[in-house]
Amino acid sequence: MRKIEKIAVLRNNVSSLELMENAGREVVSFLQEKFPSLLRLKVVVLCGKGNNGGDGFVVSRLLREKGVKVSTFLLASKTCCKGEAAVKLKELLKTKSKVTELADLEAVTRFKEEIKAADLIVDALLGTGCENRVSLLFEKVIEIVNSLKKTTVVAVDVPSGLNSDNGQLFGPCIAADYTVVLGLVKLGLIVAPGVNFAGELVVKDIGIPASALQAEKLNLNYVTLTDILPFCRERSFDRHKGTAGKILVVGGSTGLTGAPCLTAKSALRTGGGTVTIASSTGLNDILESKLVEVMTKPLSQNTDRSISSKATVPLVKMLEQYDVLALGPGLGKNTDTGKLVRNLLRKVKKTIVLDADGLNLISKNPEILKEKKGALVVTPHPGEMSRLIGCSIAEVQKNRVGTALKFAKKYKTITLLKGARTVIALPSGEVFINSTGNPGMATAGAGDVLTGMIASIIGQGFEPEKAAVYGAFIHGLAGDFAKEEKGEHGLVASDIISKIPAAILSIEKAEKKYAK
């Protein structure tokens, strides 16, 4: 956004003061829309000395002009404000508004009660320029704000203390109820842990020309409902089970037969026409007792009843009759099964969705991914990704977008990194961040459900890239529906499957509404 604003100023003849004025105006517009009783509220605007503070000065001035009771606090001396912020401070002072300096801890203590008496606090302290731990002065003010349980907090662009680039925290961070996002959503607002502090996002246009946005060639996409509507295109009247997607699931081992069953069931519920689980001979009876609509195929097995690498040839032959392969759920850790996974990657020309133990079995030599014959979607959770790239889970989580994108480019795979705000990275450099889902989905088997959904969507004729995006969104939406019925604590993977039809139906209804 900093680059985009510079482009707007240098190439499009847009004044930076105009952008700041627009930003403040849009924040005030939101406050008026959200709080009909604004004139009766005590409003405190907390400002820093930089551009975010400049936005805050505009907010204070415009609110005062509308008759709102505003107290403005500056966490610096007035002489510290420079550039556009200084101009907007001067304009505010011309209205006879009082701007109280909180330049030291003593001043914070002195005016603490006035801040605590606010009905509404506008956070314009730090913004996107925050790149280090906040000072003790800011830390104290943030702690005061966060201690208030009944006061509504609205952040301007980014909650103070949050790294807008990656969602990491620099010590204490304002816990906002709303964040009025200026221009475009910042990544740090939608990924953890930043998402926990941003509250509800309200995106406002501040007058940046479309040409300035296009010049930056943005490759980060936040996936919302309108992006998913194409999934619900009408099926042709003459479609049958053979043309609705034929999905083969290869998985299962002793103690892990549930995983491929979840994958198969979710594939059917997502619209797949025919689903078969191929597993070891010794597990076939167990699978058949668990399943009704899913077919099974017994394969050669090892002594521990894991699938043998001898199954390579029959599986490759079998896949001639299928559209997509879901490989990995519950495969186990047998090294010979790992050989099977490597063989299939080298020989299968159909699209493969590789998940769970399929990823773990190649984690010591992920270079095998470069030998794949067809399109490949990998769906690791942070632990699996950490094993694939040889780093800690904490390192993966600290830069989820960067990690997924680097992996996608290196191995030319569609990489779906699961977790809060699932990331889908493409080898082209395009990245999609999913907006659906909830903490209740942190349950065993949820990933197996996602694998089946993505495989099913591929089988129905969608490009693997779109299938990964659509699958993640619908998976999260089904989880959200399940949460409404079961709550977060009692939610299990099969609950997600049960809500897939409702999730798809809701998208179909939205598609018809948008079409009108």
Residue 206: strand, helix, or coil: coil
* Domains of the chain, residue spans: 2-217, 226-515
Residue of 437, 439, 442, 448 whose CA lies nearest to 480: 437
- The highest-level CATH class for domain 226-515 is alpha beta
Judge contact between 359 and 328, C-beta under 8 A.
yes
Conformation bin of residue 67: beta by default, left when phi > 0, alpha when psi is -120 to 50: left
Residues of the chain with pLDDT under 70: 515-516
**Res 232: pLDDT:** 86
- Over residues 330-387, the pLDDT tens digits come to 999 999 999 999 999 999 999 999 999 999 999 999 999 999 999 999 999 999 999 9
CB neighbours of 421 closer than 8 A, spacing ≥ 6? Answer: 190, 191, 192, 195, 400, 433, 434, 435, 437
The pLDDT value given to residue 391:
97
Q: How many CB atoms lie within 10 A of CB 139?
A: 17
User: Residue 125 in contact with residue 45, Cβ under 8 Å?
Assistant: no
Please state, in angstroms and rounded to a whole number, the distance separating the CA atoms of residues 433 and 224.
9
Q: What is the CATH number of domain 2-217?
A: 3.40.50.10260
What distance in Å separates the CA atoms of residue 45 and residue 60, rounded to the nearest whole number? Answer: 7
Secondary structure, 3-state, 396-455? HHHCHHHHHHHHHHHHCCEEEECCCCCEEECCCCCEEEECCCCHHHCCCCHHHHHHHHHH
Strands 376-378 and 423-425: unpaired
Output the pLDDT for position 512: 80
Q: Do the domains spanning 2-217 and 226-515 agree at the CATH topology level?
A: no
Tell me the pLDDT tens digit for each residue of 139-190. 999 999 999 999 999 999 999 999 999 898 878 999 999 999 999 999 999 9
**The pLDDT of residue 516:** 66
Q: What is the pTM of this model?
A: 0.92
